[in-house]
Structure 1
Amino acid sequence: MTVPGRRSSTFTRLLRHGFTDPSAAARLLELPDMASVRSDPVLLDALGATADPDLALRSLVRLAEAHEPDERRRFLDNLITAKPLRDRLLGVLGASEALGDHLARHPRDWHALATYESADLHPGVADFARGLADATDPVSLRVSYRRCLLAIAARDVCGTTDVAEAAAELADLATATLRAALGIAQAAAPDDAAACRLAVIAMGKCGGHELNYVSDVDVIFVAEPTNGTEEAKALQAATRLASHLMRICSETTVEGTIWPVDANLRPEGRNGPLVRTLSSHVAYYQRWAKTWEFQALLKARPVAGDQALGEAYTEAVGPLVWQAAERENFVPDVQKMRRRVVDNIPAAEIERELKLGPGGLRDVEFAVQLLQLVHGRSDATLHSGTTLEALQALAAGGYVGRADAAQLDEAYRFLRAMEHRIQLHKLRRTHLVPEQEADLRRLARSLGLRTDPVTTLNREWKRHASVVRRLHEKIFYRPLLDAVAQLTPGETRLSPKAAGQRLEALGYADPAAAMRHLEALASGVSRKAAIQRTLLPVLLGWFADSADPDAGLLGFRKVSDALGKTPWYLRLLRDEGAAAENLARVLSAGRLAPDLLLRAPEAVAILGDPEGLRPRGRDHLEQEILAAVGRADTAEAAVAAARGVRRRELFRTAAADIIGSYGTEENPAEADAGTLVDQVGDAITELTAATVAGALRAAVRDTWGDTLPTRFAVIGVGRFGGHELGYGSDADVLFVHRPRDGVDEQEAARAANAVVSEMRRLLQLPTADPPLLIDADLRPEGKSGPLVRTLGSYGAYYRRWSLVWESQALLRARPMAGDTELAEAFIELVDPLRYPREGLDDEAVREIRRLKARMESERLPRGADPTLHTKLGRGGLSDVEWTVQLLQMRHGWEVPGLRTTRTREALRAAHAAGLVSADDARTLDEAWVLATRVRNGVMLVRGRAGDTFPSDARELAAVGRYLGYGPGHVGDMLDDYRRVTRRARGVMEAAFYDA
């Protein structure tokens, strides 16, 4: 009888050792046969170290009781004295109730765990075959199989093997078992065995050497007749043998089952014959097989039966596997199949599904297999059926980033270890994480998570699942993968001859120079060169989709040279969404964007950021520029810093414009032209305003510090004020100042003029960037008048001397930099001039018409084609803008919507007010947008501004591509331009001249 104090002490000790039911454990330890166990602290420590001490003790008691008394003593003595046996046996008993049951039925099988020789650590098929050699029927085969499984589990739970090694051992045991089962079937039907050659091909996890503890073993059977046997009879005999093999492994006996043998991956699945000849298999795969069947064949491996026939099978279907990626819609088909798997998971189980759910094992396996099938056509190092080996090869070849591969490897191992331990408990096929606290605790402890095990397990599981899901989405759905899959095998690795032929076929004007660029980029054995060899075949096609493939490739080489030692650059192009395609589009669209990028190569990161092409707002830009100006030591350095921001943002705008011109995933056709024009105009205007503000701060700071003697403001007019700047536009401005209290007007004027001079000097410093010229020629008295005036001087001039053209110029006056209060006062001053009460009188209207006619006759460049000049030509920008501006001056006083500096906005307001018909408004808008896009396109292509279409054929084609016209359609572009502007001219003549 146990005294109460001793019982309390025992309970405390058992709780400390990890027992959750100390009362039951104490009762078991009080059994007579357990005397040596309860008195040995080492044994109690070993029990406490198991995944489930309560389960381990219960199974140990059952095992001890299953022995005869003498054998029981020897068993317990060995358990006490032999640490390897103790750790391995108790580890298994604490992790697997099913193997504990097996040992209770076959108590002598503990001897399988008694040895700890080096040969025992990593057994192969031959070792397992010896363990199964005595099996002559299905029952004895199951017993022998469980005995071998016991040793695998012991090595696994004790950490002697890692999860990948354990999975490989399970596959080798399955191989030996299939061979033994086939041997039993052949012995039972020797005539059938003599009539055919039968090979068993392992598929799935068995074929990939990564089997679970409990899993269907997927197989395919292939047979050939022996000499003198008819093919039909041979196939019948082979079918009987294959069916018998499947029953031996799959049927339930008094010793339970081994695992189901599943032949549903065979041609035609369940509807197809169980066994086919080699030629029948090949004919099916060549003509009828679906994409998923080739993905399944990736892991095909001969494991039993006629070895030569099995190898002939894998040699015959192997080339077909590596051609699968060339099938139409291959990558989308694989992606859809993965989505279907997830969609078919019951809603109640999806959060617990370790294998099939989002972030599960299948996400890793599908991503790896897809990359293998796409890139393995020309890279035999990827031809492994084992997931982790293939992942390592993908990382070594540069197809997956090393960091991503390492994270996937770690996550896959953790999730597979969870799956192994879940199945090991009852040797049942399941991939669901348990819900009960006790099951979760045992699972966590079996994985070595001992501190707050359940919480830690859930946290680690979710962390790894999140990593898998993120990387699966990144790798499995990246656009570059589909593009590579569409290449022919020779294109995925560039031999000189194949590359030269491909370059000519793609339209490269100088294939020899292009080859030099390719060799410089892709030669060598470095990881950088390996990634380039993956990228270049796809990039070449994207460059070829432009009007100047040679320029695109040259630009790519220059950017790659500039960023060659930057580790993130090639990773970005390989991994991040559409970055590679975006870069190809930008580099081959003309000179402006590549020139900007080469002066700031790190801006290529913009192309991989989903938000990277979104323009920055005025406040953000001005804050950044003013901060950079504040850090600079001199005014020159300050403006250089502001130019650095401007360079990057001009590239951002140009890249967004170019990429938008190619359309979007949602709208594959050309993106809305008006939207692109507005985005460019807004972005460049905001950037110019922020840059002018930076130049103003730099001009003031070095002489006056923070406070200028006079308040000073910059007013934007022309396209600047209208938020309609293009890449090559000057910034039309007016300068206004107002002396501060107590400051002499002459001193204030000197300060204001000094600021203007310094701003213009700073902005005109030599630079390779697109120039930013501030033009003040629209000021009162034009070039003859003072550069800067006080607010009062402007008021006096406009009251007495203002001409109608000056009022027209003020239509687009808008504050841009400097003193906000002063700028608003200026706008209040000029509003009555630009929107005169009761509109314009007849003389003013006639004057505007005379000015327009004079401009057309005098300012159009000599020799220019008036039907193709975007600014002054027929139906061009001037025609539309003067028409809209006349409407604004005549009706702005009574139509609030017309009081805007933006041409398109004013045109919409004029239509809304009934001043222009819907058709006429649409015609004028279309012409204005088209002419603006042509000007922007010319600047993007040539790198310098122009008002007419380029004369160079390649440049003209590049402008056409920007406008959405494919190869050979330059004539259509010019015809369309003439048609649109001709119609706009007709509307203009009716509306402007009242014709």
Structure 2
Amino acid sequence: MTTVPGRRSSTFTRLLRHGFTDPSAAERLLDLPELSSVRSDPVLLEALGATADPDLALRGLARLVEAEEADERQILLDTLVTAKPLRDRLLGVLGASEALGDHLARHPRDWQALVTYEAADLHPGLAEFEQGLAGADDPDSLRVAYRRCLLAIAARDVCGTTDVAEAAAELADLATATLRAALAIARTAAPADAAQCRLAVIAMGKCGGHELNYVSDVDVIFVAEPIDGFEESAAVRAATRLAAHMMRICSDTTVEGTIWPVDANLRPEGRSGPLVRTLSSHLAYYQRWAKTWEFQALLKARPVAGDPELGAEYVEAVSPLVWQAADRENFVPDVQKMRRRVVDNIPADRVDREIKLGPGGLRDVEFAVQLLQLVHGRSDATLRSGTTLAALRALAEGGYVGRVDAAQLDDAYRFLRAMEHRIQLYRLRRTHLVPESAPDLRRLGRSLGMRTDPITELNQAWKRHASVVRRLHEKLFYRPLLDAVAQLAPGESRLSAKAAGHRLEALGYADPAAALRHLEALSSGVSRKAAIQRTLLPVLLGWFADSADPDAGLLGFRKVSDALGKTPWYLRLLRDEGAAAENLARVLSAGRLAPDLLLRAPEAVALLGDPQGLKPRTREHLEQEVLAAVGRADGAESAVAVVRAVRRRELFRTTAADLIGSYGTEENPAEEDPGALVDRVGSAVTDLNAVTIAGALRAAVREQWGDTLPTRFAVIGMGRFGGHELGYGSDADVLFVHLPREGVDEQEAARAANAVVSEMRRLLQLPTADPPLIIDADLRPEGKSGPMVRTLASYEAYYRRWSLVWESQALLRAEPVAGDIELGREFIELIDPLRYPMEGLGEDAVREIRRLKARMESERLPRGADPTLHTKLGRGGLSDVEWTVQLMQMQHGWAEPGLRTTRTREALAAACAAELISGEDAATLDEAWVLATRVRNAVMLVRGRPGDTFPSGPRELTAVGRYLGYEPGHVGDMLDDYRRITRRARAVVEERFYGA
């Protein structure tokens, strides 16, 4: 054919109109003699244009007709023209699947498998597939026959004569027939093995659930029993050889490709366990060792090949165990772990393209449905289907899922499965990633019936369905709980109170009856508050259930809502600020301290919706606020009440930030560096307590002396206070120093100084529900028997004449925190030579420090306390690390400026930089110190009162574990890790501190 240069032929134009993207290449193919009839036939061109990828379909057709003998080629082309069913099927497959086009090019006669178009052919079952594989007596002939059957399934699928669920069921039936044929080949190859054993193949996963993909591992479990007269061990070995051979037949790759991998890793003990077990061995494992996810997997168990009676016995034996799984002790932790594992292993660059594991993907639907089945299938046998859509339909009919929600989920699941099918069908590769290239997206969209703007339409539909799945996944398990306590969805089935209680128990609620009462109080009625909370509660319930104490979270939410529910900004905050509701749920269910603080001042919930709201405020800003408030107050007690309110608010800000930073949220995952969290908490609480003391000092002075005290006065922080390392439950260790003003009598100045200390302590100890701030001055010269406050000269005289080595050590943490700034600086100048002595410590001083430490270890550890778990005085705990660091400071601080710091971690890093301790030993001590500090903070957060060891109650212990990053059910791992880390730290202490 000759075309005038620069002008397009009429064929070129027709090809463009029919959807070809490369008309020039298509014209060249149509110029082939074998395709001349296609070029001139408008019916065939139109049929090509109706496929998902007309260019691919034409290339596949060209390869097929070239591979055919001349006579057969003409029969094929004539049939394509006259038989629309064949035309639609063959060209539809060629336009959707390059891999099946390759198969037809190798086996051109297989197109005849698409000729039959009778009613029975539309929905073939297992018998038809077994007939299609009949005669395949070796692995390669089985592979060819399998692809021929697959060709017919794909043809019905792309032409729409079967829907996605029917296609998935056909694929599962074909897999069943294939497993049977492969086992028959294996038995024929080893008749002696076949004679010794009964072997049953149990399908799991999508094959077991009758919902297989085009390309998927076929999950199986093997069970065997000896035939009479044979020993069990020999029979199991024979069955293992048969099973392994059957797996190779399906999984191996030859010139005819592969069928699919057979995966037996769902068997007891996974890859580590024997491939084949007897029925009694399976049961023994499931009864003693199986985890919850293994029972979830058994939901889909279905006998498919081998001995049918043995297969039926297996399913009958394990089925009761499946429906008892929700009663297991660790059911809730295991379920929570499975939920969090959904997207954990997806690379970050793929998560947005994953239609199976990604957010709003197929796994979300399957997991939610299976979880509901495990909970409610205990008492409702109608829910015990291995097929996702059938189970979803049963859940809706039983009232466990709203009908509208179920219909939306069914629609979304079908769409996502159709996407998955078409993606895999193209090259018959196992993938769940949406392609990125425009041609691939165009073909995918067209294969799903989108023709106007396939790429845009596909992306919009995909995102819409994924959004529906994600929303319903979050509410599916929780929304019916609201239907159980309030008439929210007229015309829909409602969950019974008993079923709602079951579900709450499965979520980990210890008192489901109380939880239902809270839900009723929160969601009933027609008020705007109730309407918004009905929207929020399904998601909140999921977050509460993800915590160690769901009951506390729900109760706290009810209390906060009772206090603020009529406040428009509160409801708007939770509804409109994405992170606020999740932050609130995390805080309310993480322990007692943060909720107690919040319930004392519910308006602080506003901090949770502000991106900057959880960042600690600087000491300067806080001090300005506090001192201004004290200046406006009417009397000292009123002033300190305002100061305490600021402390309460800021303490809540710090605890909330700590909890959210430790647990993380969907938008902000948990921080990776525990040391950063510890430092932030230590600095924030230290600054807050310093400001609180400054406010109490100003209030005490104003009450009696107006603006000026007769003596200059400073508060020196000691211990963790001076080290910026305060925890939530720490006392404030201090020293008080004063210096009479010019012209003031020393006795008058002393009386004023003592009076202001007494008034400060009185004001800070007034009864309150807030966490107390206890001022401890026991580190002063002469301890409890010494004067509460001294002049600078008195301190100088005492330290020069009487100071002991432990007092010099205590002064390592001294830092001014309130009062006269210049006087505080003078005090530090006074003590620096004591804490950083020139030329370091003598041997006698070192021995004395070691003696004091050993005495403290033997005398101060509480009776009955486990020394391996006591965070302060136990093995490798805070005391061990701090005394080791402080010894280095006193020995080398005079020569190493970096050691002259009150902060433990900073001093340890400086010692490492100065090569006074190896990097490995420093890291070991730092890890132990950070961990012990976090445990103390966790105990205070969880229990609402301080403690130096792990709590004994299981819920509190689990909550501490969650704070430290351990999944529920792994409390033992937490304790083991603590012991291991502190044991290593103690070994460093033995060497570095004791010189062992």
TM-score range with shorter-chain normalisation? 0.5 to 0.7
- Check conservation: 2:157, 2:163, Cα contact below 8 A: no
Q: Does 1:769 align with 2:770?
A: yes
Aligned counterpart, 2:823 = 822
- Aligned residue for 1:765, secondary structure, equals coil
**Shift in CA distance, 276/860, structure 1 to aligned 2, threshold 3 Å:** closer
Deviation of 1:574 after TM superposition, in Å, equals 2.5
Q: Does 1:731 align with 2:701?
A: no
Q: How does 1:594-633 map to 2 (within 5 A)?
A: 594-633=595-634
Aligned equivalents of 2:412, 2:750: Cα separation in 1: 74
Aligned counterpart, 2:661 = 660
Aligned counterpart, 1:8 = none
**Shift in CA distance, 691/558, structure 1 to aligned 2, threshold 3 Å:** same
Aligned equivalents of 1:317, 1:653: Cα separation in 2: 43
Q: How does 1:20-169 map to 2 (within 5 A)?
A: none
Q: How does 1:97-496 map to 2 (within 5 A)?
A: 321-324=408-411, 373=468, 481=471, 484=474, 490=480, 495-496=495-496
- Check conservation: 1:712, 1:736, Cα contact below 8 A: yes
Deviation of 1:586 after TM superposition, in Å, equals 1.0
Aligned equivalents of 2:852, 2:416: Cα separation in 1: 61
Aligned counterpart, 1:963 = 964
Aligned counterpart, 1:404 = none
**Shift in CA distance, 492/561, structure 1 to aligned 2, threshold 3 Å:** closer
Aligned counterpart, 1:745 = 746
- Aligned residue for 1:323, secondary structure, equals helix
Aligned equivalents of 1:673, 1:284: Cα separation in 2: 50
Deviation of 1:274 after TM superposition, in Å, equals 15
Aligned counterpart, 2:525 = 524
- Aligned residue for 1:816, secondary structure, equals strand
Deviation of 1:484 after TM superposition, in Å, equals 2.9
- Check conservation: 1:838, 1:893, Cα contact below 8 A: yes
Deviation of 1:735 after TM superposition, in Å, equals 0.6
Deviation of 1:914 after TM superposition, in Å, equals 0.9
- Aligned residue for 2:578, secondary structure, equals coil
- Check conservation: 1:856, 1:872, Cα contact below 8 A: yes
**Shift in CA distance, 531/959, structure 1 to aligned 2, threshold 3 Å:** same
Structure number with greater Rg is 1
- Check conservation: 2:701, 2:709, Cα contact below 8 A: yes
**Shift in CA distance, 326/780, structure 1 to aligned 2, threshold 3 Å:** farther
Deviation of 1:500 after TM superposition, in Å, equals 2.2
- Range moving further from structure 2, 564-573 or 631-640: 564-573
Q: Does 1:505 align with 2:592?
A: no
Amino acid at match of 2:501: G
Aligned counterpart, 1:148 = none
- Aligned residue for 1:871, secondary structure, equals coil
- Check conservation: 2:582, 2:665, Cα contact below 8 A: no
Deviation of 1:281 after TM superposition, in Å, equals 9.2
Q: Does 1:754 align with 2:730?
A: no
Aligned counterpart, 1:708 = 709
Aligned counterpart, 1:567 = 568
Identity of aligned residues (%): 75
**Shift in CA distance, 734/231, structure 1 to aligned 2, threshold 3 Å:** farther
- Aligned residue for 1:789, secondary structure, equals strand
- Aligned residue for 1:578, secondary structure, equals helix
Aligned counterpart, 2:922 = 921
Aligned equivalents of 1:797, 1:864: Cα separation in 2: 37
Amino acid at match of 1:718: G
Q: How does 1:936-975 map to 2 (within 5 A)?
A: 936-975=937-976
- Check conservation: 1:664, 1:671, Cα contact below 8 A: no
- With normalisation by structure 2, the TM-score equals 0.54
Q: Does 1:895 align with 2:885?
A: no
Aligned counterpart, 1:81 = none
Deviation of 1:771 after TM superposition, in Å, equals 0.6
**Shift in CA distance, 482/827, structure 1 to aligned 2, threshold 3 Å:** farther
Deviation of 1:523 after TM superposition, in Å, equals 1.5
**Shift in CA distance, 574/746, structure 1 to aligned 2, threshold 3 Å:** same
Deviation of 1:525 after TM superposition, in Å, equals 2.4
1:271-311 alpha-carbon deviations (Å, 9 max, x no partner): 9999987976996899999999xx9xxxxxxxxxxxxxxxx
Aligned counterpart, 1:812 = 813
**Shift in CA distance, 967/233, structure 1 to aligned 2, threshold 3 Å:** closer
- Check conservation: 2:593, 2:942, Cα contact below 8 A: yes
Deviation of 1:629 after TM superposition, in Å, equals 1.2
- Aligned residue for 2:734, secondary structure, equals strand
Deviation of 1:663 after TM superposition, in Å, equals 3.7
**Shift in CA distance, 512/326, structure 1 to aligned 2, threshold 3 Å:** farther
Aligned equivalents of 2:899, 2:416: Cα separation in 1: 52
- Aligned residue for 2:946, secondary structure, equals coil
Deviation of 1:486 after TM superposition, in Å, equals 6.8
**Shift in CA distance, 589/683, structure 1 to aligned 2, threshold 3 Å:** same
Deviation of 1:576 after TM superposition, in Å, equals 1.0
State the Cα RMSD in Å: 4.1
Aligned counterpart, 2:110 = none
1:776-800 alpha-carbon deviations (Å, 9 max, x no partner): 1101111111111111111111111
- Check conservation: 2:683, 2:726, Cα contact below 8 A: yes
Aligned counterpart, 2:258 = none
Q: Does 1:833 align with 2:834?
A: yes
Aligned counterpart, 2:320 = none
Unaligned runs of at least 5 residues, structure 1: 1-229, 237-270, 296-315, 345-355, 375-479
Aligned counterpart, 2:551 = 550
Deviation of 1:491 after TM superposition, in Å, equals 6.5
- Check conservation: 1:730, 1:774, Cα contact below 8 A: yes
Aligned equivalents of 1:823, 1:556: Cα separation in 2: 45
**Shift in CA distance, 667/529, structure 1 to aligned 2, threshold 3 Å:** closer
Aligned equivalents of 1:742, 1:604: Cα separation in 2: 52
Deviation of 1:660 after TM superposition, in Å, equals 1.2
Amino acid at match of 1:727: Y
Amino acid at match of 1:692: I
- Aligned residue for 1:815, secondary structure, equals strand
Aligned counterpart, 2:690 = 689
**Shift in CA distance, 319/673, structure 1 to aligned 2, threshold 3 Å:** closer
Aligned equivalents of 1:537, 1:809: Cα separation in 2: 53
- Check conservation: 1:483, 1:538, Cα contact below 8 A: no
Aligned equivalents of 2:157, 2:857: Cα separation in 1: 85
Aligned equivalents of 2:576, 2:472: Cα separation in 1: 13
Deviation of 1:534 after TM superposition, in Å, equals 2.0
- Check conservation: 2:714, 2:816, Cα contact below 8 A: yes
Aligned counterpart, 1:214 = none
Aligned equivalents of 2:971, 2:781: Cα separation in 1: 44
Aligned equivalents of 1:960, 1:318: Cα separation in 2: 35
Q: Does 1:647 align with 2:648?
A: yes
Amino acid at match of 2:600: R
Q: How does 1:797-876 map to 2 (within 5 A)?
A: 797-876=798-877
**Shift in CA distance, 234/978, structure 1 to aligned 2, threshold 3 Å:** closer
Aligned equivalents of 1:367, 1:705: Cα separation in 2: 71
Aligned equivalents of 2:813, 2:506: Cα separation in 1: 51
- Aligned residue for 1:925, secondary structure, equals helix
- Check conservation: 1:326, 1:487, Cα contact below 8 A: no
1:580-637 alpha-carbon deviations (Å, 9 max, x no partner): 2211111111111110010011111111111111111101111111122112101111
Deviation of 1:501 after TM superposition, in Å, equals 2.6
Amino acid at match of 2:805: V
Amino acid at match of 2:410: Q
Deviation of 1:830 after TM superposition, in Å, equals 0.5
Deviation of 1:366 after TM superposition, in Å, equals 9.9
Deviation of 1:570 after TM superposition, in Å, equals 2.6
Deviation of 1:371 after TM superposition, in Å, equals 11
**Shift in CA distance, 806/234, structure 1 to aligned 2, threshold 3 Å:** closer
- Range moving further from structure 2, 317-326 or 863-872: 317-326
- Check conservation: 2:812, 2:835, Cα contact below 8 A: yes
**Shift in CA distance, 525/325, structure 1 to aligned 2, threshold 3 Å:** farther
Deviation of 1:717 after TM superposition, in Å, equals 0.6
Aligned counterpart, 1:77 = none
Aligned equivalents of 2:626, 2:496: Cα separation in 1: 48
